[in-house]
A and B are shown apart, each in its own frame.
Chain A
């Protein structure tokens, strides 16, 4: 065997050796346990704290608002979509207050006119034109928006 090949074989063996050591050292231990991903990722995600508690938890104290909301188009909307995650609030309602959104742009997250959004399902309003001077909740009741404030 010519000396060039011999030397190259040595160099390539070293390179591949280093590659396999690195691959062994860096590949997460649980990789490939269930599929082409880190097996532990499932358990790690399972162990994360659940921050959204759901409408039923709100219903324990605010049953009047929850049942009022059921009468309007926001019936399927979870309370925490507007008020934010409630996991701290249910532990200590006095210290951990939830958000009460009042800005026009908050309603606009869903209701701002957007060609890509179906108008049949969500009412679309052009925030640049519709009653620009006022907040939405100055007229609309947020929990049942087709009813107006006095």
Chain B
């Protein structure tokens, strides 16, 4: 048989009920799942760092720089899944030189640049400027010049200079908090404003995205912090872990409440899309939503973290639990993005049928590509930790 019909018959096997022809295969793949996921990790990690700085929480101090560097490493990669998803990836820069003011994606480019250049880079620079000066004096060879360039020529180390570093750094943090909210709220907005899709179109979307971002960012910092201590063979600082756990618990409660509110609202409203959405939730999304997102990613961590707020088992048990919780929550939030992005495309706009998403292994939009963009930020983070080791920072 002609290969065109072969592929049509193959595609029709994935369809249940009535579906429009252009809905058979999904346009937004796993890479579009990854984009809000990574952006969320960035915003979450940054918000944790900012809360730490603004509210001066002593126990969280060891995670401050790590959160910033983690946010930076992930932000550098945040747009890469989007770009690899494009049909012509090498033309990505055109969105920046001829931006359209009514295009949500073009404006995202500027929100992203603002956050990268003005907020994160500057905050890290002000935090490290003094250390760059010291290191540029202490180090030898190429590294001496690398650090010298990183000072941008601002070599002052007087009390007054340090005070300015702190003052401006604090100011950027204060500006950074709403910027981080904007960055990720915006991602939620892009989905929430697709009015033709009943699974996405909700004003709650930006808020839900924001809180799940905070949850995932905190979990990522917990994971990275424990990982770094493990690799450096350092003892895990239990008050710090307990503190992160406490904040994770609080934000997770808010996140869970907001998502439940959204669902309860849909159920109570029960408009014309309700039937297909309930079939979606109990059918195609049962594993990713019911098991992975709600049970593994939310309820189990909530129960364990809630238990820890009242009872404190031995340090070793808590350590293992925190590590597992960080992985559970990270997995749960990934599946939250999956359920939004993939789930929203699985049902027909006719509200009478479903298609199926088959994740390929290789190829431009396959599993390997997604895995690649998930591993790269950890590589960048390792490089940043080598270049800017927080444990070698001068105490001032």
Q: Is the pairing of A and B real?
A: yes
**A105: shortest Cβ distance to chain B, in Å?**
4
Q: Is the CB of A4 within 8 A of B165?
A: yes
Chain B residues with CB below 8 A from A114, complex form? 8, 21
Q: Is the CB of A4 within 8 A of B1?
A: no
* Tally of A interface residues using CB under 8 Å: 26
With contacts A36-B98, A116-B21 taken as known, whether A7 is within 8 angstroms of B152 at the C-beta atoms is: yes
Chain A residues with CB below 8 A from B19, complex form? 116
Mark interface residues in B122-147 (1 if CB within 8 Å of A CB, else 0): 10011001000000000000000000
Within 8 A of B (CB), among A1-60: 2-8, 10-11, 15, 22-23, 26-27, 31-32, 36
Mark interface residues in A112-130 (1 if CB within 8 Å of B CB, else 0): 1011100000000001000
Chain B residues with CB below 8 A from A112, complex form? 5, 8
A and B contact pairs by CB, cutoff 8 A, 17 listed? A4-B156, A4-B164, A4-B168, A5-B168, A6-B154, A7-B152, A8-B152, A10-B152, A23-B97, A31-B98, A36-B100, A103-B2, A105-B4, A108-B5, A114-B21, A115-B12, A116-B20
- B315: interface (CB < 8 Å): no
- B153: interface (CB < 8 Å): yes
With contacts A8-B152, A27-B98 taken as known, whether A108 is within 8 angstroms of B164 at the C-beta atoms is: no
Chain B residues with CB below 8 A from A2, complex form? 160-161, 164, 168
Q: Is the CB of B5 within 8 A of A3?
A: no
Residue of A nearest to B167 (CB): A2
Chain B residues with CB below 8 A from A31, complex form? 98
Q: In the complex the two chains form, what is the Cα distance from A2 to B169 in whole Å?
A: 13
- State the B residues within 8 Å of A (CB): 1-2, 4-5, 8, 12, 18-21, 93, 96-98, 100, 117, 122, 125-126, 129, 152-154, 156, 160-161, 164-165, 168
Q: In the complex the two chains form, what is the Cα distance from A66 to B122 in whole Å?
A: 73
Q: Is the CB of A108 within 8 A of B2?
A: yes
**A95: shortest Cβ distance to chain B, in Å?**
29
Nearest first, the 4 A-B pairs at minimum CB distance are A105-B2, A2-B164, A116-B21, A7-B154
Q: Is the CB of A3 within 8 A of B97?
A: no
Q: Is the CB of B122 within 8 A of A8?
A: yes
Chain B residues with CB below 8 A from A103, complex form? 2
Contact of A11 among B12, B96, B152, B156 (CB under 8 A): B152
Q: In the complex the two chains form, what is the Cα distance from A35 to B389 in whole Å?
A: 50
With contacts A115-B18, A116-B21 taken as known, whether A7 is within 8 angstroms of B122 at the C-beta atoms is: no
Contact of B154 among A3, A36, A109, A116 (CB under 8 A): A3
Residue of B nearest to A12 (CB): B117
**A112: shortest Cβ distance to chain B, in Å?**
6
Q: In the complex the two chains form, what is the Cα distance from A32 to B5 in whole Å?
A: 43
With contacts A7-B154, A36-B98, A116-B21 taken as known, whether A127 is within 8 angstroms of B161 at the C-beta atoms is: no
Chain B residues with CB below 8 A from A26, complex form? 93, 97
Residue of A nearest to B126 (CB): A4
**B134: shortest Cβ distance to chain A, in Å?**
15
Q: In the complex the two chains form, what is the Cα distance from A2 to B8 in whole Å?
A: 67
Q: In the complex the two chains form, what is the Cα distance from A22 to B96 in whole Å?
A: 11
Mark interface residues in A90-111 (1 if CB within 8 Å of B CB, else 0): 0000000000000101001100
Residue of B nearest to A16 (CB): B117
**A111: shortest Cβ distance to chain B, in Å?**
12
Question: Knowing that A31-B98, A112-B5 are A-B contacts, what are 19 other residue pairs whose CB atoms are under 8 Å apart, sorted by A's residue number?
Answer: A4-B126, A4-B154, A4-B156, A4-B161, A4-B164, A4-B168, A6-B154, A8-B122, A15-B117, A22-B97, A26-B97, A27-B97, A36-B100, A103-B2, A105-B1, A105-B5, A108-B5, A116-B19, A127-B5
Q: In the complex the two chains form, what is the Cα distance from A114 to B9 in whole Å?
A: 10
Chain A residues with CB below 8 A from B96, complex form? 23
Residue of A nearest to B155 (CB): A3
Chain A residues with CB below 8 A from B100, complex form? 36
**B156: shortest Cβ distance to chain A, in Å?**
5
Q: In the complex the two chains form, what is the Cα distance from A150 to B93 in whole Å?
A: 63
Mark interface residues in A72-88 (1 if CB within 8 Å of B CB, else 0): 00000000000000000
Residue of B nearest to A112 (CB): B5
